[in-house]
């Protein structure tokens, strides 16, 4: 496809991920995908590994796993690909896969339907930006555990950071980011405890961002400009956790 035609097709799609399609063309996604990749500490070498990307959306992390040598990658989604309540569709994933000449496979399936019988088991499972969208997060993690053969990389919204006991903030309505699909903001202790509870043997927090100084500025700005509760915003961040069976 000619570059001008490629740009034209890219412009027709409502992108979430920023994917490098080559020829200087990067999809105009809202997500700061490359920055988020750095926080994940995904293994550099995935040769011979099979990878499951849960909630793949436009597929950036699926294609990245393939680029790092994974022998088999399965991208799954349901909510975003169905194009129902959310504003996403499968158009970005399909177009990027074709343009990149990727062999990533896909399956439309909900997290709660995951099982070894349905999708198999995987050396590495990516569960990125999905947990806090789950009405039943512990049950969701049980499903994820069942298809994890070795390692899970989990990235999620966290809240109540200054509460030491396992706890989670519940977001009724559109409280978090004006998004009615955001349900829970567990704290660090809740995330790690849930992972141990479903069966993981080792759990490690590898990233918690933004750091306090940046959260302080964001909380102050939110209070002054958006009239949001200062202490509530101060306790919110994003966390990456690695877990092993």
The CATH number of whichever domain residue 199 belongs to comes to 3.40.50.150
Report residue 149's pLDDT band, with 50, 70 and 90 as the boundaries: very high
Report residue 61's pLDDT band, with 50, 70 and 90 as the boundaries: very high
pLDDT score of 177: 79
Domain contains 216: no
pLDDT tens profile 184-230: 999 999 999 999 999 999 999 999 985 655 555 555 565 555 656 65
Domain contains 32: yes
Domain contains 180: yes
Up-side HSE of residue 128: CA atoms within 13 Å toward CB? 24
Contacts of 189 (CB under 8 A, 6+ apart): 163, 164, 165, 166, 167
pLDDT score of 175: 83
Domain contains 176: yes
- Count of the separate structural domains present in the chain: 1
Mapping DSSP to helix (H, G, I), strand (E, B) and coil, where does residue 94 land?
helix
Domain contains 233: no
Domain contains 56: yes
Q: What is the mean pLDDT of the chain?
A: 91
CB of 62 closer than 8 Å to CB of 73: yes
Domain contains 225: no
- Closest to 156 (Cα-Cα) out of 205, 215, 92: 205
- Phi and psi for 170 in degrees, rounded to 5? -100, 130
Domain contains 131: yes
Mean pLDDT, residues 45-56: 98
pLDDT score of 26: 96
Structural domain range at position 65: 3-211+238-244
pLDDT score of 235: 84
Burial environment of residue 5 by CB neighbours within 10 A (0 to 12, 13 to 18, 19 or more): exposed
């Amino acid at each position: 496809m000619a570059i001008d035609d490629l740009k034209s097709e890219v412009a027709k799609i409502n992108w979430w991920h920023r994917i490098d399609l080559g020829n200087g063309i990067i999809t105009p996604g809202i997500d700061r995908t490359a920055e988020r990749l750095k926080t994940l500490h995904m293994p550099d070498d995935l040769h011979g590994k099979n990878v499951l990307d849960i909630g793949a959306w436009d597929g950036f992390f699926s294609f990245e796993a393939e680029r790092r040598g994974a022998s088999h990658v399965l991208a799954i989604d349901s909510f975003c690909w169905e194009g129902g309540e959310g504003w996403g569709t499968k158009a970005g994933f399909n177009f990027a896969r074709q343009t990149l000449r990727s062999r990533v496979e896909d399956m439309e399936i909900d997290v709660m339907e995951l099982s070894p019988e349905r999708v198999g088991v995987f050396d590495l499972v990516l569960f990125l930006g999905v947990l806090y969208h789950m009405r039943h997060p512990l049950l969701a993690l049980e499903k994820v555990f069942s298809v994890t053969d070795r390692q899970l990389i989990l990235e999620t919204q966290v809240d109540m950071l200054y509460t030491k006991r396992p706890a989670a903030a519940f977001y009724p309505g559109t409280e978090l980011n004006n998004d009615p699909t955001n349900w829970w903001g567990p704290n660090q202790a809740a995330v790690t405890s849930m992972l141990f509870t479903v069966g993981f043997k080792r759990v490690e927090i590898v990233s918690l961002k933004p750091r306090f100084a940046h959260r302080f500025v964001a909380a102050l700005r939110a209070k002054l400009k958006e009239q949001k509760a200062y202490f509530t915003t101060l306790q919110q961040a994003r966390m990456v956790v690695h877990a092993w069976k």
